[in-house]
Amino acid sequence: MEMINKENLSSQAKLWNFIYGFADSLVLKSAVQLDLANIIHNHGSPMTLSELSLHLPSQPVNQDALYRVLRYLVHMKLFTKSSIDGELRYGLAPPAKFLVKGWDKCMLGAILTITDKDFMAPWHYLKEGILNDGSTSTAFEKALGTNIWDYMAEHPEKNQLFNEGMANDTRLIMSALVKECSSMFDGITTIVDVGGGTGTAVRNIAKAFPHIKCTVYDLPHVIAD
């Protein structure tokens, strides 16, 4: 009986983790919107709650709410917490370097795109996307009334963030691909990247294999960006 109870508790705990799974994404989003990682990075050393508060864009700051967000970021192992001279100070854990602006591996574009309210909306329409009465509409179209590509064309600021996020992911993958799987490109003289976005993938290929002619084919508003 005791083993069954433990199994039930473990199963329920797993479901509770799923129920609150959104929290990690949205706390991360708030940290990016508040620019917390860049504030600490630019300061050059861990900061107290009061010091961080003074650097936020509007005053006064709800320090209790900020404290709770910082605690959660520490729990996520994105930030660190230490006691220096009797004061709690918050610093950056290794993964937080990808929240710092100014280098090509910064992931802010991906974070702000994926956690955007409009991009989260289709997840609430998965059922409608399945029970669609013969319609071919996607969950995105059910939620926002248009397909993702037309939506991007109508929202250039979000299109730019989306492209930045995709480019960041592509840089990570392509740097490994051209290094570890270079034999894949043996004998290839031409590559056309259909849906290649802003050309991050083919730029990596062209740099590693100058003899290959690379072309990007995508929608006009993507190429324009």
pLDDT digits (tens, 9 = 90+) for 44-78: 999 999 999 999 988 899 999 999 999 999 999 99
pLDDT in tens, 185-197: 888 999 999 888 8
Asked if residues 99 and 31 have their Cβ atoms less than 8 Å apart, the reply is: yes
Mean pLDDT computed over every residue of the chain: 90
> pTM here?
0.81
From CA 149, how far away is CA 159, in angstroms rounded? 9
Kindly list the domain boundaries of the chain, sorted by start residue. Answer: 2-97, 108-224
From CA 170, how far away is CA 28, in angstroms rounded? 21
What is the percentage of the chain residues whose pLDDT exceeds 90? 55
107-109-110 Cα angle (round to 5): 70
**Residue 216 DSSP SS3:** strand
Range 188-212 average pLDDT: 88
From CA 112, how far away is CA 161, in angstroms rounded? 7
| pLDDT value for 1 | 46
Span 2-97: which CATH code?
A: 1.10.10.10
Chain centroid to CA 16: 23
108-224 is a CATH 3.40.50.150 domain: yes
Whether 2-97 shares its CATH topology with 108-224 is answered no
| pLDDT value for 91 | 98
From CA 196, how far away is CA 74, in angstroms rounded? 37
Higher pLDDT, 7 or 66: 66
Range 158-175 average pLDDT: 84
The single-letter DSSP state of residue 96 is G
